Amino acid sequence: MTDTPESPAPAPPEPAPAVEITPEEVASGKVFAILCYALGFLGIPFFILPLVMRDNDFSLYHAKQVLILWLLGIAGYILGVLLLVVCIGPFIMLGVGILSLVLAIMGLINAINGQAKPLPLIGKYAEQWFAGVTKVAK
């Protein structure tokens, strides 16, 4: 038998980089991005406005993140209601509610800091599912 050196293991894939958005886009869309999260705390679906206007990449990016966050909340609520029969529904609704709150705070911090980072656990789905929702050229 000959000793052959083993090839090194392939490097793990690098995480997807944050979306590249110009500083001008960040500056002009920061207020709408912040309002998407802040008014979401109050139950107001403000994220619809940037999704309809589609005139700023930064606010559109965060609107898609908030939309996926709302979909998580709706799915968690429906699942919780369905599982009320077996008495674990309230725990599921509570867990999804806490997770949604933590993710919304993380998204709000990203928007305040002018960063376009996906939310942990669910942000990548916003990028995949709503990839066709892009800025409209003027």
Note the pLDDT tens digit of each residue in 74-129: 999 999 999 988 889 899 999 999 999 999 999 999 999 999 999 999 989 888 88
pLDDT at position 5 over 90:
no
Distance CA 70, CA 12 (A): 32
pLDDT at position 14 over 80:
no
DSSP designation for 104: H
Q: Domain ranges for the chain, please list them.
A: 23-127
Question: 0.85 exceeded by the pTM?
Answer: no
- 19 vs 119, higher pLDDT: 119
pLDDT at position 15 over 70:
no
Q: How confident is the model at residue 133 (pLDDT cuts 50, 70, 90)?
A: confident
Please say whether the beta carbons of 119 and 106 come within 8 A.
Answer: yes
Task: Taking the CA atoms of 116, 119, 123 and 124 in sequence, report the sign of the dihedral they define.
Answer: positive
Distance CA 30, CA 38 (A): 12
